[in-house]
Amino acid sequence: MEAAFYLFLLGAFMCSTEAAGILPDGPLNAPVGGSVMFTTFLTEADGPFDAVTWNFNATILIISYQSGSSLIPPAYQDRITFFPSTASLELKDLTLDDGGEYSVNVFPDRGGIIKLDIYEKISRVSIKSSTEQITEGSSVTLTCEASGSSPSRTWKKDGSDLNLSENVTLSEDNTVLTFKAVKKENSGEYVCLVSNPVSSSEAKFTIVVNYGPANVQIEGKDLINENDQIKLICSAESTPSATFTWRLNGSEIIGSSAEFLKEKAQSSDSGTYTCEAKNTVTEKQSTAEHELHVRADITSGCYAGCIAGIVVGCLVVVAAASAGGFFVYKKLHKRKPDPPPQTAEVNHIYEEISPVYQNVGK
Ligand SMILES: *[C@@H]1O[C@H](CO)[C@@H](O)[C@H](O)[C@H]1NC(C)=O
Ligand SMILES: *[C@@H]1O[C@H](CO)[C@@H](O)[C@H](O)[C@H]1NC(C)=O
Ligand SMILES: *[C@@H]1O[C@H](CO)[C@@H](O)[C@H](O)[C@H]1NC(C)=O
Ligand SMILES: *[C@@H]1O[C@H](CO)[C@@H](O)[C@H](O)[C@H]1NC(C)=O
């Protein structure tokens, strides 16, 4: 019996195993620092097993188990758990050096072999842009950087697959996304998903394509009356938002917002209004023009002679009012006490007024 076992052990060392029967096909994947379970197809009913050996890369002994006692080399002492009932093995605290072939031999004639691939988990995924400020028409590259073993990358834009074209291309390994001449439609949130068989991680990058100003327009009335409100609104397609400068007949006027407002228009506010839209990032500017005519009001459209006329008129009114006031004052103080108001008197006043209306009618 003993001789047979040593012969078996020797056989196991020499040729690993051709009997790949009691382990799954593999390979198994496991992360650095993690653990892996080599589970055989054997059950308790198949045992008990007199002798079991596990080897790494055919020649390195992990455990030699015989009749309840086991021999474990120092390198594996604290890292393995052996399950005698199924001849299965657990290996912990994995390092990249643990990648290779694991074989098991169960005396007298069963065995198996399986490959284990160790991966460093994906970490530190980031997207780096070739330029900080992205302006329309410029060339931009996004590079998806990552740490970890065998990273494979996929990209999404706003949750959908990328539409690659002659102007939007990916490098062969999917690491670099290139925009030949970036368009405003390329704005959006880009995600680079990096994965390997044991982990995945992603990074996001938002492309804001600065463009414009384009399509500058002024909205407002062409013709208003004096004392009406002037309200002109300038708009422009621009990222970032445009800043505005207003001019009247070429001279700068107060107002640096999109809206030009003046509560009471004067006829001197007539003229050509220009809105100049500027984009501080693209350093481009564009203008729009708007003709406004403020129509002079007949009652207030009045100068020198007219004003003198009003002044004279006023004096006359004041004089008349004073005289009238004096007369009324005197009259009130004479007729004291006042007689109670009578219906007849009211009727009388009415009758007096009626003929006046009739005269006007004729
Ligand atoms: C084990 O074998 C694999 C190939 O299967 C090899 O890459 C690895 O370096 C070997 N490891 C040791 C410690 O011999
Ligand atoms: C790709 O193109 C299709 C059709 O033009 C469009 O509906 C979709 O939004 C595009 N996807 C992206 C990510 O731009
Ligand atoms: C690529 O860009 C060029 C120049 O801007 C343009 O003429 C062409 O239509 C673009 N191609 C696609 C597929 O968008
Ligand atoms: C602007 O020009 C128009 C037409 O030349 C003129 O009628 C108007 O008085 C001018 N306005 C100002 C404020 O200069």
pLDDT in tens, 336-347: 444 444 433 333
The DSSP letter of residue 120 is P
Question: Is the CB of 67 within 6 Å of ligand 4?
Answer: no
- The CATH number assigned to the domain with range 2-119 reads 2.60.40.10
21: helix, strand or coil? coil
269 has a pLDDT exceeding 60: yes
In the chain, the percentage of residues whose pLDDT exceeds 90 is 73
- The domain 123-207 having CATH identifier 3.40.50.360: the answer here is no
Q: Specify the higher pLDDT residue, 348 or 186.
A: 186
Q: How far is the CA of 167 from the centre of ligand 3 (A)?
A: 6
Q: Whose CA is nearest to atom 4 of ligand 2?
A: 163
354 has a pLDDT exceeding 90: no
Cβ neighbours around 103 below 10 Å, total: 23
The strand order across the sheet containing 140-147 reads 123-129, 140-147, 176-179, 168-170
Given this model, what pLDDT does residue 299 score? 59
The pLDDT tens digits for 179-235 are 999 999 999 999 999 999 999 999 999 999 999 999 999 999 999 999 999 999 999
Interior/surface letters 114-146, b for 16+ CB within 10 angstroms, e for the rest: bebbbbbbbeebebebeeeebbbebebebbbeb
Which ligand 1 atom is at minimum distance from the Cα of 57? Answer: 1
Interior/surface letters 190-215, b for 16+ CB within 10 angstroms, e for the rest: bbbbbbbebbbbbbebebebbbbbee
Residues with a CB atom less than 6 Å from ligand 3: 165-167, 181
Given this model, what pLDDT does residue 167 score? 96
The pLDDT tens digits for 112-156 are 999 999 999 999 999 999 999 999 999 999 999 999 999 999 999
Which ligand 2 atom is at minimum distance from the Cα of 185? Answer: 14
Stretch(es) of the chain classified as CATH 2.60.40.10: 2-119, 123-207, 211-295
Q: Which residues pair with 50 in a beta bridge?
A: none
Helix (H) and strand (E) counts for the chain?
3, 26
**Contact between 64 and 53 (Cβ < 8 Å):** yes
**CA angle, corner 162, sides to 177 and 120, nearest 5?**
60
Phi, psi of 344 (to 5 degrees): -60, -40
Q: How far is the CA of 161 from the centre of ligand 3 (A)?
A: 19
Q: Whose CA is nearest to atom 10 of ligand 2?
A: 163
Measured from the alpha carbon of residue 249, the closest ligand is 4
Question: Is the CB of 26 within 6 Å of ligand 1?
Answer: no
Q: Specify the higher pLDDT residue, 335 or 109.
A: 109
Q: What are the angstrom distances between the C-alpha of 59 and each of 44, 100, 215?
A: 28, 11, 76
Q: How far is the CA of 292 from the centre of ligand 4 (A)?
A: 10
Rounded Cα gap, residues 235 and 220, in angstroms: 11
Residue 292 CB partners (closer than 8 Å, separation 6+): 220, 221, 222, 223, 224, 230, 232, 269, 270, 271, 273
Question: Is the CB of 163 within 6 Å of ligand 2?
Answer: yes
Given this model, what pLDDT does residue 303 score? 52
Q: Whose CA is nearest to atom 14 of ligand 1?
A: 57
How much of the chain is in helix, strand and coil states, percent to nearest 5? 20, 45, 35
Residue in 45, 87, 81, 80 with CA at minimum distance from that of residue 66: 87
**Contact between 209 and 183 (Cβ < 8 Å):** yes
Question: Is the CB of 249 within 6 Å of ligand 4?
Answer: yes
47 is written with which tokens? 């045992």
Domain with residues 211-295, CATH architecture: Sandwich (2.60)
Query: Residue 112: is it exposed, middle or buried by C-beta count within 10 angstroms (0-12/13-18/19+)?
Result: buried
The pLDDT tens digits for 144-154 are 999 999 999 99
